[in-house]
Amino acid sequence: MQRRELFAKILKPKADIPNAILPPYFGGKFDCDECDAPCVKACDKGLLSFKNQQIEFAPNARGCDFCEACALACSLKERTTLSLQNEARILAKVSISTSSCLAWNETICYSCMDACRYKAIDFFGVFRPLVNSKCVGCGECVGACFKGSITMERL
């Protein structure tokens, strides 16, 4: 075991952050001890943050377009947390609130559907949108909904 790994094991709380949404291209294990997180800086949309030696994804006005920059930055550091060998997907459940969504309350609105490049939001006629299994968790719809009716939670 290398010195860096040994100290990390002794000193660092290894608890996973339970509700943190995992980043795209995640390999299943954080290899982030004493890293300066170039992946966070590589994301020009500000979607990643570094807390407790872990990378977390959170959508803002924009979502992830799977530009690969974070995974490339990680690989250049010779770390294994994010890699293009892993899936271009964010493991999250995306839900639409039926109480606040306009289209669930008899007002026509297609903002989320228009924002989704994956055709992952189905409408029943012109109302009642639901997220389908084509969703890749990019989070683009979250910022597109001006009612704040779309939430993401870690799977």
Query: Distance between CA 95 and CA 78 in Å, rounded?
Result: 36
The reply to whether 94 sits near ligand SF4 by the rule CB under 6 A is: yes
Q: Which residues pair with 54 in a beta bridge?
A: 51
Picking from 121, 126, 120, 119, the residue whose alpha carbon sits closest to that of residue 104 is 126
- Three-class DSSP category at 153: strand
The residue (of 7 and 95) whose beta carbon lies closer to ligand SF4 is: 95
Q: Which residues pair with 154 in a beta bridge?
A: 92
Where in 106-145 is the site for ligand SF4 (CB under 6 A)? 109, 111-112, 115-116, 118, 120-121, 129, 131, 135-141, 144-145
The residue (of 6 and 61) whose beta carbon lies closer to ligand SF4 is: 61
Question: Shortest Cβ distance from residue 25 to ligand SF4 (Å)?
Answer: 7
Contact characters 55-74, ligand SF4, x per CB under 6 A:
--------xxxxxxxx----
Residue 123: how many CB atoms within 10 A of its CB?
15
Contact call for residues 35 and 4 (beta carbons, < 8 A): no
Q: Which of 24, 35, 55, 56 binds ligand SF4 (CB under 6 A)?
A: 24
Query: Distance between CA 17 and CA 20 in Å, rounded?
Result: 6
Question: Shortest Cβ distance from residue 120 to ligand SF4 (Å)?
Answer: 4
Q: Which of 41, 45, 77, 128 binds ligand SF4 (CB under 6 A)?
A: 45
Contact call for residues 49 and 40 (beta carbons, < 8 A): yes
Binding site residues, ligand SF4, CB under 6 A: 24, 42-43, 45, 47-48, 63-70, 94, 96, 101-103, 109, 111-112, 115-116, 118, 120-121, 129, 131, 135-141, 144-145, 147, 149-150
